[in-house]
Amino acid sequence: MGRKRIRAWKHIYYGIASLIFFSLINCATIKDIDIMKQKEDSKYLLQGHKLLAQRNYEGALSEYEKVLSLSPSKAQEAEVFFNMGLIYAHYGYPKRDYKKSLNFFIKILNDYPESPFFEQAKIWIGVLQEHRQISQMIEKLKQ
């Protein structure tokens, strides 16, 4: 009579232990997936840097957009926006657009104040605004 109760409790304990074991395995798997995602984000970020150094601006923009689509960390987002702003302001980029560049730097100021790119973005905003003012003055003088 006593054995049946003990056996029943053993099955309950075994079931609870199994649930705990499988939940711990799932947590470890989720962490592994996050680590793999971060490595993939970094791969695209590094590839974007390489393409930018090689003056392949379209390729670099494409890689940076991949990083953004993979929902990276805030630090990576700020770095991507900063580099995209640099590309759109670069004299060698045939499709340069100072307005887009300015918008990327303003986004860093508004959304990422703790970023190491914050101060550099402020400097670039000043440079681009001054460029716009000088361009407007030149246009007025031409007229």
pLDDT in tens, 15-73: 777 777 667 666 555 554 555 555 666 888 899 999 999 999 999 999 999 988 886 67
Is the pLDDT assigned to residue 12 strictly greater than 90? no
- Cα angle vertex 89, ends 46, 59, to 5°? 35
- Cα angle vertex 89, ends 137, 55, to 5°? 140
Split at pLDDT 50, 70, 90, the class of 110 is very high
What does the pLDDT read at residue 17? 72
What does the pLDDT read at residue 20? 74
What does the pLDDT read at residue 73? 75
Q: What is the dihedral of CA 133, 137, 142, 143, to 10 degrees?
A: 110
Is the pLDDT assigned to residue 108 strictly greater than 70? yes
54 three-state secondary structure: coil
pLDDT in tens, 85-104: 999 999 999 999 999 999 99
d(CA 138, CA 132): 10
Tell me the two tokens of residue 54.
Answer: 């090689």
Split at pLDDT 50, 70, 90, the class of 4 is low
Cβ–Cβ < 8 Å for 101, 89: yes
Q: Is the dihedral of CA 54, 57, 58, 59 positive or negative?
A: positive
Tell me the two tokens of residue 33.
Answer: 């997936």
